[in-house]
Amino acid sequence: MNLVVTGATGGAGSWVVDHFASAGHDVVGIDLERPPREPENATFLAADLAEQGQAWEAVLDSDPDAVIHFAGVPRMGITSGTETFLNNVSSTYHVFEAAGRAGADVIWSSSESLYGMPFAAEPFLPEYLPIDEAHPMRPEDGYGASKLVGEELAAKTVRKHGVSVASIRPSWIQYPGEYRATNGNAAFDPRTAEPSGNFWSYVDVRDVVSIVDAAVDAVLEGDIDGHEAYHAMAAENYLGRPTAEVIEAAFGDLPDDCALEGERSAFSTAKARAELGWEPEHSWREAEDEAVAGPGFLDG
């Protein structure tokens, strides 16, 4: 299988490259710069995907069966602004169009941020809990808005080119042995805590890789026909406390429609389980101190 992976030297993108190359697939990794080394089965191109010519040449010359698009500016929040929005939208537009012209299906990294809660100027509750992929999307920041536009571009690509696109909506991605999400857990007090727009959700990068793997299989086998979005979150929050109780304490209320039990994540991954056969395998309880080697090709 020939794969193109954009954002190939970034956080999650490098793990995706490492996984598919190690599995014996031919991978072309694209990023602004090449890494110090190339692993077996992988080659790297330096390209600015916000430039149409560079994006089209890099993707079309690679003749991929599928494109995994993880490139983008990860600057989030109300200060992310115009540069983040324009870069993410233009690069996504160019990559999707090139993939469509190549007849390649697409799996790409969207975000929970498109719902609007994570980076709203004034914190607000979802309409219901747990949140599923059908929840209304109301982003206020440039990053979340770029992901919402990206999913519209995904639908456009499906209509125009007849390929399929899977939009993966991960929560805050964490790396084994380097879990930033759990910093300060011991001193956490929901009565004085700032409301969390992602409701203390997260996902291990290895689970991001596994849902991408499942989505690649699904699009190439025709199990995804058109554009579909899937949540990628760990099964539980990263606090070790009942989710609904923490949300109510921090926000002062809960949605009338709330079906959260125990420490379960505020986001449902039922769709990914039903359609992709995917479930998260990693929990912060083991992974925050776990020693796992990352992609070796990033080491100088």
Q: Is the separation of the CB atoms in 154 and 168 below 8 Å? A: no
pLDDT band for 300, please (50, 70, 90 cuts): low
**Mean pLDDT of the region 205-216:** 98
Tell which residue, 130, 119, 118, 125, has the closest CA to residue 266. Answer: 130
pLDDT at 193: 87
Mean pLDDT, the chain, rounded, equals: 95
Token code pair at residue 225: 């026909």
When pLDDT is averaged across residues 123-132 and rounded to a whole number, the result is 97
What pLDDT, on the 0 to 100 scale, is given for residue 187? 82
User: For residue range 10-41, what is the model confidence (pLDDT) as tens digits?
Assistant: 999 999 999 999 999 999 999 999 999 999 99
Q: What average pLDDT does the segment 213-234 reach?
A: 97
pLDDT value of residue 78: 58
Segment 102-130 mean pLDDT: 96
Which residues lie closer than 8 Å to 12 by C-beta, 6 or more apart?
70, 109, 170, 173, 205, 208, 209
Amino acid at the residue 291: A
Sign of the Cα torsion 270, 266, 84, 4 reads negative
pLDDT greater than 70 at residue 117: yes
CATH level 3 topology of 2-298: Rossmann fold (3.40.50)
Stretch among 13-22, 38-47, 121-130, 190-199 having the lowest mean pLDDT: 190-199
Least confident of 136-140, 154-158, 178-182: 178-182
Q: What is the pLDDT of residue 245?
A: 96
pLDDT at position 79: 58
What's the rounded mean pLDDT across residues 125-134? Answer: 98
Confidence of residue 98 (pLDDT cuts 50, 70, 90): very high
Q: Given this model, what pLDDT does residue 80 score? A: 57
What integer pLDDT is reported at residue 159 of this predicted model? 98
The domain locations on the chain are 2-298
Listed in sequence order, the DSSP H helices in 117-241 are 142-161, 205-220
**Predicted pLDDT at 185:** 86
Which amino acid is located at 253 in the chain? Answer: D
- Please give the Cα distance from 174 to 3 (Å, whole number): 24
Question: 240-255 burial, b if ≥16 CB within 10 A, otherwise e?
Answer: ebbbbebbebbbeebb
User: Do residues 244 and 182 touch, judged by C-beta distance below 8 A?
Assistant: no
% of the chain with per-residue pLDDT over 70 = 98
On whether the CB atoms of residues 175 and 114 are closer than 8 A, the answer is no
Pick from 263, 205, 265: which is nearest to 14 by CA? 205
SS3 for 101? Answer: helix
